[in-house]
């Protein structure tokens, strides 16, 4: 277990351990995407709790790429003060903060986006609330530029790294997937073409932040959908990113339409159900030289040890366990090996919609019982 708490460096960014807080939607921003003090406190608590690297909730690079309420935006200078307060709070606790950049593409609605949603193709699939508009070359160029602008602002505001969200059915993933990308131009068809948008976004971001700033990609190893992105195509994309000197790839799987194999599966109540993306992560690990982060159902140290020490996964990513226990990493480091208390019920997301911020509803009920 000591290996999990060894210091590492990614492209000049020192990390205290090999634990990553994977991105999750918190619902703690204003309607325009401005971070609130509640979000700052959330990230501060994670840094206090010992998380080596905190990846923010997915931040939209343009307003038409927003999906859920309370989602953070990284598209304007208007939030500079709040963003700098956010990064400073994490740094004051010795933590590192990476912002995740996203455009929801067809996984939003006209009401939220303020226009008909954009996607690679005008195709209605289960994961899209409504039929989107097929993107023109000008749309593509403008959204590539928006990703670059978001990365530049992130660096200015003191974020330690950026991550491109190319998983879970969002816009970059929509280009990668033959299910949602039916284009017959240079962005569609064979996997080389379907990777073009991802590479253009990556190159634009890299040009904005420079070679000495960490840039990560969150990539589906599989969409877990018939006709969607499969592991073969994911390995191809990973190899292309590796050649471009991406600093790390976080491997996930699934979309909102993937049934029981979505990115946030329920009922992870024993070690046999944990690490549900590990096979995908290992396939990609075999194909690249860059560090690999694996996410998906990690709850117990025995499973984490096997993934990191035996299998060679470089970083272990978790989200829901750290909603219930922001101090989980320090608890493990201090010698309490009990598994994370998260029961994978996904109840934490409901107050994000109803109350303006996620929290563990089970923990709150137990706390009320103890008081009462």
For the residues of 65-100, what is the DSSP string, one character each?
Answer: G--STT--B-S-GGGHHHHHHHHHHHHHTT--EEEE
* The two structure tokens encoding residue 282: 């290992």
Q: Where are the alpha helices (DSSP H) in the chain?
A: 37-48, 80-92, 110-113, 137-157, 171-176, 191-194, 196-209, 231-243, 278-287, 301-305, 320-324, 328-333, 350-354, 361-371
> What average pLDDT is seen over the chain?
97
In this prediction, residue 273 carries a pLDDT of 97
Rounded Cα–Cα distance for residues 291 and 250 (Å):
9
Q: At 94, list the tokens.
A: 């010795």
Neighbours of 24 (CB within 10 A): 22
Quick check: 356 pLDDT over 90?
no
- CA angle at 101 for the pair 98 and 106, rounded to the nearest 5°: 150
Reported confidence tier of residue 277, pLDDT bands at 50, 70, 90: very high
Kindly report, residue by residue over 225-273, the tens digit of the pLDDT.
999 999 999 999 999 999 999 999 999 999 999 999 999 999 999 999 9
Q: Indicate if the pLDDT at residue 200 is higher than 80.
A: yes
Q: Which residues contact 288 (CB under 8 A, 6 or more apart)?
A: 238, 239, 241, 242, 249
Rg from Cα positions in the chain: 19
- pLDDT tens for 110-123 read 999 999 999 999 99
Does residue 1 register a pLDDT over 90? no
Please say whether the beta carbons of 28 and 39 come within 8 A.
Answer: yes
Tokens of 182: 């039916």
pLDDT of residue 97: 98
Of 345, 364, 363, 350, residue with least CA distance to 269: 345
Active site residue 170: yes
> Tokens representing 130?
């409504």
Nearest to 318 by CA among 49, 61, 89, 73: 49
Question: What CATH code is assigned to 2-340?
Answer: 3.20.20.70
Query: Among the options 58, 170, 187, 202, which is catalytic?
Result: 170
- What's the pLDDT at 369? 78
**Residue 372, both tokens:** 């009462």
SS3 280: helix
Phi, psi of 19 (to 5 degrees): -105, 135
Both tokens assigned to 45: 């608590």
Q: What number is the average pLDDT over the span 207-219? A: 98
- Name the burial class of residue 365, with classes exposed (0-12), middle (13-18) and buried (19+) by CB atoms within 10 angstroms of its CB: exposed
Query: Running DSSP on this structure, what letter comes out for residue 334?
Result: T
| Stretch 310-322: mean pLDDT | 98
Q: Is the pTM of this model over 0.95?
A: yes
Q: Where are the domains of the chain?
A: 2-340
- In the predicted model, is pLDDT for residue 371 greater than 80? no
């Amino acid at each position: 277990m000591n290996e999990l708490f060894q210091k590492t460096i990614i492209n000049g960014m020192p990390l205290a351990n090999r634990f990553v807080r994977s991105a999750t939607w918190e619902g703690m921003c204003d309607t325009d995407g401005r971070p609130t003090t509640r979000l700052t406190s959330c990230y501060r608590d994670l840094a206090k709790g010992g998380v080596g690297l905190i990846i923010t909730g997915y931040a939209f690079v343009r307003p038409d790429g927003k999906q859920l309420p309370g989602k953070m935006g990284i598209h304007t200078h208007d939030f500079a003060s709040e963003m700098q307060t956010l990064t400073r709070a994490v740094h004051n606790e010795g933590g590192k903060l990476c912002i995740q950049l996203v455009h929801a593409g067809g996984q939003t609605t006209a009401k939220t986006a303020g226009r008909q949603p954009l996607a690679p193709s005008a195709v209605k699939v289960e994961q899209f609330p409504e039929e989107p508009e097929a993107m023109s070359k000008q749309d593509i160029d403008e959204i590539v530029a928006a990703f670059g602008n978001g990365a530049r602002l992130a660096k200015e505001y003191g974020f330690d790294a950026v991550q491109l969200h190319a998983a879970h059915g969002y816009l970059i993933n929509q280009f990668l997937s033959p299910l949602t990308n039916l284009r017959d131009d240079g962005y569609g068809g064979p996997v080389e073409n379907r990777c073009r948008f991802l590479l253009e976004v990556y190159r634009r971001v890299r040009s904005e932040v420079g070679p000495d700033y960490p840039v990560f990609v969150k990539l589906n190893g599989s969409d877990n959908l018939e006709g969607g992105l499969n592991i073969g195509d994911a390995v191809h994309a990973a190899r292309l990113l590796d050649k471009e000197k991406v600093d790390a790839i976080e491997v996930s799987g699934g979309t909102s339409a993937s049934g029981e194999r979505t990115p946030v599966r329920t009922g992870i109540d024993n070690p046999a159900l944990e690490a549900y993306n590990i096979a995908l992560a290992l396939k990609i690990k075999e194909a690249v030289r860059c560090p690999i982060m694996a996410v998906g159902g990690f709850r117990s140290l025995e499973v984490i040890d096997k993934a990191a020490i035996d299998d060679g996964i470089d970083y272990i990513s978790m989200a829901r366990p750290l909603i219930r226990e922001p101090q989980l990493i320090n608890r493990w480091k201090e010698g309490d090996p009990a598994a994370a208390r998260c029961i994978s019920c996904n109840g934490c997301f409901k107050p994000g919609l109803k109350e303006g911020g996620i929290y563990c509803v089970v923990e709150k009920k137990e706390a009320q019982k103890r008081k009462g």
